[in-house]
Chains A and B, each alone.
Chain A
Amino acid sequence: MNIPMSWLKDYVSIEADIKDFVEDITLSGSKVEGYTTLAGAIQNVVTGKVKEIKPHPDADKLVITTIDAGQGKDITIVTGARNLKVGDYVPVALDNSILADGKEIHTGALRGVVSEGMLCSVQELGCDIHDFPEACEDGIYVFPEAVELGKDVTEVMDLKDDVVEFEITSNRPDCFSVVGLAREAAATYETEFRYPQIRVEEKGEGNAKDMISVEIQNPELCPRYIARVVKNVKIGPSPRWMRKRLRASGVRPINNIVDITNYVMLELGQPMHAFNIDTIAERKIIVRNAKDGETITTLDGNERKLDSSMLVISDPQKAVAVAGVMGGENSMISEEAEAILFESANFNGPNVRITAKKLGLRTDASGKYEKGLDPNLALDAVNRAAQLVELLGVGEVVPGMVDCYPNERKPWKLSYSPEWINRLLGTDISEEEMIAIFERIGLQVDAQAKEVLIPTYRPDLEAQADLAEEVARFYGYNKIVPTLAAGTPTVGKKTYKQSIVSMIKDTMISSGLCEAMTFSFESPKVFDKLNIPADSPLRKTVVISNPLGEDFSIMRTVSIHGILNSLATNFNRRNEEAGLFEVGKVYLPKAVPVTELPEEKEVLTIARYGNMDFYDIKGVLEQLFIILGMDNKVDFIPEKSIAWMHPGRTATLAVNGKTFGYVGELHPQVAVNYGIGTKAYIAVVEIETLIAEAVLVKAYKALPKFPGITRDIAMLVKDEITVKQIEDVIKNNAGEYLEKVTLFDVYKGSQIEKGYKSVAYSIDFRGADRTLTEQDIAKAMQQVLSSLAETLGAQLRDK
């Protein structure tokens, strides 16, 4: 909301300079986004008179003018303008002057003739034809009458003003107006607020009541409708002062009648509309719901299709306006209009908002209505408009009005307790001071009963907490002394789950991975990209009904799409390697379509490419399981059935037979789908299982006291036998002194029979209570070797 200071100052005296004002009013609750000074840049541009016009000797399109700009001597200015004649009064930018856009003007030569300045158009003074309708469209501005010479044009033309941009919160519809902000400013500065003096002379003939009738069919959506009539209207431009204020507030001047409605809307916050009374059939206004499929062409020339939830202003034959949103073309004010009907009505805010949204037609009026206006404002507004008609002399206001107001909104009472307010604020403000604040914002105080009467324009004041805010605002938020709550002490902490997640992240980072952040919604096309079968339950998703587009339309059920995209980004930017991880959620619906909140499952996702293979990413997980104290119970089981993973290079993670993730190489086809031109490795781990299985407090094992003995063995086994199978046999047969089994070589090649591989282990033995003997070891090894031969067909190799 943009407000010119000059307008505000009509209703409140403000002595502070603009900088202090914006800070003061911001701190009392009306936030200023910024301010601009109209014509602020203009310097050294004065009024002048054309004394002589001569042709330029060397340029057909230029003329040489002699100007008296009140400088003591005449000056010469060369101009290309064609609209000048001797005797014209014009704005003159002197040597070393500055125009509205900051451009500097200095004496210089134009085609060999010295020009000591410049004659200005309205554009060069930061205005346009809407500000000065009498101005020549593309020429020098000529004052309509004689002016004193050498005077600052910003004053003569009334160009300057400070325009303040306010951010008004939705709870304060009253502040969407000059008057509302003047009231706030007066309370801020503890100074007098002067409400506009509204008086209508009603010099027209007859009575509005005999000329028009109003029927409200839906009083819930239209609590009040007032109509006034103006006859013998003279449509034309409105005066400069009004146009200037409208323009400064961001509203385009149109004609005097429309300008008056806009002026009142800006000043009082009440939107108004003017109908050409001759277009209203039977001169009867009916406020009713639209019929489904009914259409109306609005003022902007667009045909709008309405439905029965929308409210229209209509006559017995046709709709003439969408209530609170925009008027119809069929009833607009034209140049020929003789009599008009001023509408000042109150409409239900939410309904206006929904209608405007459905029609895609947000207007200044709908923006005001949707905040919920005070129906009592409508009367002042219609009278103010009538007053302005009389002030501008553009018509005769017919006495009387039609005012349909079935349920009057009355002020309401609120009790206050100074103790309660002080307790909430942590202050020690006296009752007198609170009462003074209440009075400053227009509440009537009954100090005896400790009650205030709330004016109807303050619907936000509903309870004592709201009064506490008013007290705090004008006492000063920044005067409230900061304290540290004593109260009952609490322990600041993370949940167990959050601690585990922190450990997971720390481990990932110490493993060289960078933390990624990806979107949790994506496109349903993702499933095809990931080779996910058509009947997979993963395709059952939480669907967003109003997404930003298909690409963001479903909540993810697999966590890898975003991170694969990120790998592709890294690959395309020629990053040699990239290792990313994310702890994020997948969203699994319990039923489709969704009827209850989905399961939000947190997963760790790792994705990387670069100089590495499967065992590098597996190593990261092993490290994680060690940190979480669960390395001894996790199995890596060969897995061929994950559609987006390499079937020969993927393992499922399982603990006690329950799977909780997988790790492996991305399916080469999927890598191609994502544009990752190299092998990529993926791991996905369910956090839930990590939380359940982690053992953070680990039992200490005594450090060894006796020396250990190591035996190395190498064996030949069939290719398809996994080292896990071999290790299980060793562990199950090596007896009680087995300490550790370490794989140190796997070899396939020229000396090995095809279909076989050589596998070599170090086996460490150690006794807890004694030094082991040769016999102990021999016995254990014997058992190991024979079991390996028996169960896996392993042949011991001589080394």
Chain B
Amino acid sequence: MKEKLSLIHTKALETLKEISQMKELEEAKVRFLGKKGELTSVLKEMGKLSQEERPLIGQLANDVRQDIEKRLEEAKKRLLAAEMEAKLASETIDVTMPGRGAQCGHKHPMSIVIDEITNIFMGMGYEVAEGPEVEKDYYNFEALNIPANHPAKDEQDTFYINGDILLRTQTSPVQVRTMEKGKLPIRVICPGKVYRADEVDATHSPIFHQLEGLVVDRGITMGDLKGALAVFAKELFGEDTKVRFRPHHFPFTEPSAEMDVTCFACGGKGCRVCKGEGYIELLGCGMVHPKVLKMSGIDPEEYSGFAFGMGLERVTMQRYGITDLRLLFENDVKFLKQF
């Protein structure tokens, strides 16, 4: 019997080794372990054994059964794994084919830049203010210390509706309207459309966008102006950005400055984008002129402030490498979908 058991064991192991399908596995299980299987039939002969032999053979038969069961289980695992592998292989697709799904739209590149700048200043505690585009001469010029016949008025090539009403040439009138409300302190920015009589070409448009900022509080200094704008420049152009302030002239600020930032294209080494200067002019700024504060009902002895303003088309064009301003107004979806 011992030999018979060992023979069954050997046969079973050999059979299992060669099995490659679930069906064969089931058959082998029945053949060796089933009710009419080979092991069972051997065990049926246990009665013939002596009292001493019976436990030994019984033990042996159990061992053989357990081992075959274990091997069967292993074979099953092996087959299942192979089956899964085959299934996965058959399901392979070309993942380089284009995706399907909701077509999202795109923000206009100008809006992306405006939103980004707005967010930077909101993080610094600035509110977003708005004002009319068809504006009174008073707000656009006079209240900003640009009296009638001032050359600065001429420089801006204003569109007039009539003697008193015009299309604002700058977002600065919103400064005045904000100050007039008399709620202090003031920290506002104002992005918006402005108008100047420039013919349309690759770098000019009679309609363009500016963003204006104004801070008025007790004890505001030119150092604060520099600090706020340096933070802004780093946020917008990256941590390594350096700024440079140059004296300039605006009628509504004194002292006035222009702020240059290190060229984002070359990092300040000098290149085609910055015409070799290493710096790019970004914005005009200055300490709010005491006359302007006074005209808007704020006491320049008690309060001081700074203001800044920048053209947004140029920032947008430089950022995305857009060389023709007209693209911004054409609205070709092939253009808009790039942003």
Given A477-B246, A597-B132: A548 touches B199 (CB 8 Å cut-off): yes
Of B256, B328, B333, the contact of A514 (CB 8 Å cutoff): B333
Chain A residues near B25 (CB-CB < 8 A): none
Q: Are B247 and A490 within 8 A (Cβ)?
A: no
Contact with B along A528-554 (1 / 0, CB 8 A): 000000000000001111111000100
A579 within 8 A of B: yes
Q: Are B223 and A517 within 8 A (Cβ)?
A: no
Chain B residues near A516 (CB-CB < 8 A): 108, 331, 336
Of A370, A484, A493, the contact of B224 (CB 8 Å cutoff): A484
Complex CA gap A597/B207 in Å reads 19
Chain B residues near A27 (CB-CB < 8 A): 244, 246-247
B261 within 8 A of A: no
Given A170-B152, A423-B221: A493 touches B132 (CB 8 Å cut-off): no
Q: Name the prevailing secondary structure of the B interface residues.
A: mixed
Residue of B nearest to A489 (CB): B125
A692 within 8 A of B: no
Chain A residues near B122 (CB-CB < 8 A): 492-494
Q: Are B332 and A575 within 8 A (Cβ)?
A: yes
Q: Are A172 and B249 within 8 A (Cβ)?
A: yes
Q: Which of B43-51, B71-79, B91-99, B159-167 contacts A (4 or more CB under 8 A)?
A: B159-167
Q: Are B108 and A465 within 8 A (Cβ)?
A: no
B226 within 8 A of A: yes
B187 within 8 A of A: yes
Q: Which of B8-16, B60-68, B82-90, B133-141 contacts A (4 or more CB under 8 A)?
A: B133-141
Given A426-B223, A494-B128: A514 touches B331 (CB 8 Å cut-off): yes
Complex CA gap A600/B127 in Å reads 21
Chain B residues near A106 (CB-CB < 8 A): none
Complex CA gap A631/B272 in Å reads 53
Chain A residues near B149 (CB-CB < 8 A): 349-350, 353-354
Complex CA gap A600/B110 in Å reads 21
B219 within 8 A of A: yes
Given A468-B254, A483-B224, A519-B207: A555 touches B134 (CB 8 Å cut-off): yes
Residue of A nearest to B160 (CB): A545
Complex CA gap A563/B245 in Å reads 41
Given A468-B254, A484-B227: A473 touches B105 (CB 8 Å cut-off): no
Name the residue in B110, B122, B199, B255 with the highest tally of chain A Cβ atoms < 10 Å from its Cβ: B255
Q: Are B151 and A370 within 8 A (Cβ)?
A: yes
Q: Are A520 and B103 within 8 A (Cβ)?
A: no
Contact with B along A279-307 (1 / 0, CB 8 A): 00000000000000000000000000000
Given A28-B247, A517-B110, A544-B159: A487 touches B219 (CB 8 Å cut-off): yes
A207 within 8 A of B: no
A359 within 8 A of B: no
A99 within 8 A of B: no
CB distance from A488 to the nearest CB of B (A): 5
CB distance from B226 to the nearest CB of A (A): 4
B19 within 8 A of A: no
Q: Are B332 and A570 within 8 A (Cβ)?
A: yes
Q: Are B246 and A29 within 8 A (Cβ)?
A: yes
Contact with A along B284-310 (1 / 0, CB 8 A): 000101110000000000001000000
Complex CA gap A415/B153 in Å reads 30
Q: Are B224 and A472 within 8 A (Cβ)?
A: no
Name the residue in A371, A518, A570, A593 with the highest tally of chain B Cβ atoms < 10 Å from its Cβ: A570
Q: Which of A335-343, A505-513, A697-705 contacts B (4 or more CB under 8 A)?
A: A505-513
Q: Are B255 and A472 within 8 A (Cβ)?
A: yes
Chain B residues near A510 (CB-CB < 8 A): 102, 104-105
Contact with A along B98-129 (1 / 0, CB 8 A): 00001111111011000000100111111110
Contact with B along A349-378 (1 / 0, CB 8 A): 110011001000000000000110000000
Q: Are B193 and A485 within 8 A (Cβ)?
A: no
Q: Are A544 and B334 within 8 A (Cβ)?
A: no
Of B107, B118, B329, the contact of A518 (CB 8 Å cutoff): B329
Q: Are B333 and A570 within 8 A (Cβ)?
A: yes
Chain A residues near B226 (CB-CB < 8 A): 480-483
Q: Are B290 and A491 within 8 A (Cβ)?
A: no
Complex CA gap A482/B256 in Å reads 16
B271 within 8 A of A: no
Q: Are A573 and B227 within 8 A (Cβ)?
A: no
Interface size on A, residues (CB 8 A): 92
Q: Are A427 and B223 within 8 A (Cβ)?
A: yes
Residue of A nearest to B217 (CB): A487
Given A492-B126, A493-B122: A578 touches B220 (CB 8 Å cut-off): no
Q: Are A598 and B134 within 8 A (Cβ)?
A: yes
Complex CA gap A169/B257 in Å reads 12
CB distance from A196 to the nearest CB of B (A): 26
Name the residue in A480, A492, A579 with the highest tally of chain B Cβ atoms < 10 Å from its Cβ: A492
Q: Are A465 and B185 within 8 A (Cβ)?
A: no
Q: Are B255 and A469 within 8 A (Cβ)?
A: yes
Of A482, A494, A597, the contact of B136 (CB 8 Å cutoff): A597
Complex CA gap A563/B136 in Å reads 28
CB distance from B157 to the nearest CB of A (A): 9
Complex CA gap A505/B106 in Å reads 10
Q: Are A483 and B159 within 8 A (Cβ)?
A: no
Q: Are A487 and B220 within 8 A (Cβ)?
A: yes
CB distance from B317 to the nearest CB of A (A): 13
B3 within 8 A of A: no
B197 within 8 A of A: yes
CB distance from A27 to the nearest CB of B (A): 6
Chain A residues near B148 (CB-CB < 8 A): 350
Q: Are B218 and A487 within 8 A (Cβ)?
A: yes
A580 within 8 A of B: yes
Contact with B along A27-44 (1 / 0, CB 8 A): 111010010000000000
B155 within 8 A of A: yes
Chain B residues near A580 (CB-CB < 8 A): 331, 333, 336
B266 within 8 A of A: no
B283 within 8 A of A: no
Chain B residues near A508 (CB-CB < 8 A): 105
A791 within 8 A of B: no
Chain B residues near A482 (CB-CB < 8 A): 223, 226-227, 230
Of A29, A349, A520, A597, the contact of B165 (CB 8 Å cutoff): A597
Which 4 A-B pairs rank lowest in CB-CB distance, beginning with the nearest?
A426-B223, A426-B221, A29-B247, A350-B149
What are 8 sample pairs from A and B whose C-beta atoms fall under 8 A apart?
Answer: A170-B249, A349-B149, A473-B247, A490-B126, A494-B122, A514-B108, A566-B332, A569-B332
List 19 other contacts, CB 8 Å, given A357-B154, A492-B122, A548-B199: A169-B249, A170-B152, A349-B151, A354-B149, A427-B222, A472-B247, A477-B246, A478-B245, A485-B228, A492-B123, A493-B128, A519-B329, A544-B159, A544-B160, A546-B197, A547-B159, A575-B332, A585-B133, A597-B135
State the A residues within 8 Å of B (CB). Answer: 26-29, 31, 34, 169-172, 349-350, 353-354, 357, 370-371, 423-427, 460, 463-466, 468-469, 472-473, 477-478, 480-485, 487-495, 498, 505, 508-521, 542-548, 552, 555, 563, 566, 569-570, 573, 575, 577-581, 585, 587, 593-594, 596-598, 600
